[in-house]
């Protein structure tokens, strides 16, 4: 009986931990247009944009795929709100994507903030 109580208490504690940040994140992510973005959305996008510029300048674009660079730029141009696919395909794409993920995570954004996904025929 005691083991079941501990298991139930642990489950309830984990549920509370998951629910609170999710509710807070939803409140913080209310803006769905570039004009209505929260300060947090603007900060994450500014970090992404600056890191993209730094990485492209430092690493160059030789060997990067046009589709990946275009998808990343489209994401920035949308205020980091557009559901675009920036699918890394080359080693250079992966270097840029890894740098962007690290930069945004260091700023406090989740790794899912970035537009790096490969759906469809990418």
Q: What is the dihedral of CA 78, 43, 94, 76, to 10 degrees?
A: 20
Task: Give the dihedral of Cα atoms 25, 30, 34, 40; nearest 10 deg.
Answer: -30
Residue ranges of domains in the chain: 31-113
- Tens-digit pLDDT profile for residues 4-62: 544 444 444 434 444 444 434 444 445 667 677 788 889 999 999 999 999 999 999 99
The pLDDT confidence band at residue 1, using thresholds 50, 70 and 90, is low
Helix, strand, coil percentages for the chain (3-state, nearest 5)? 65, 0, 35
């Amino acid at each position: 009986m005691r083991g079941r109580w501990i298991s139930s208490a642990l489950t309830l504690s984990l549920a509370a931990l998951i629910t609170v940040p999710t509710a807070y994140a939803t409140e913080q992510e209310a803006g769905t247009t570039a004009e209505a973005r929260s300060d947090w959305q603007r900060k994450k996008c500014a970090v992404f944009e600056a890191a993209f510029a730094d990485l492209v300048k430092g690493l160059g674009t030789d060997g990067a795929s046009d589709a990946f660079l275009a998808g990343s730029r489209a994401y920035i141009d949308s205020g980091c709100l557009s559901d675009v696919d920036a699918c890394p395909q080359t080693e250079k794409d992966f270097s840029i994507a890894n740098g962007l993920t690290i930069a945004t995570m260091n700023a406090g954004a989740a790794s899912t903030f970035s537009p790096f996904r490969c759906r469809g025929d990418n």
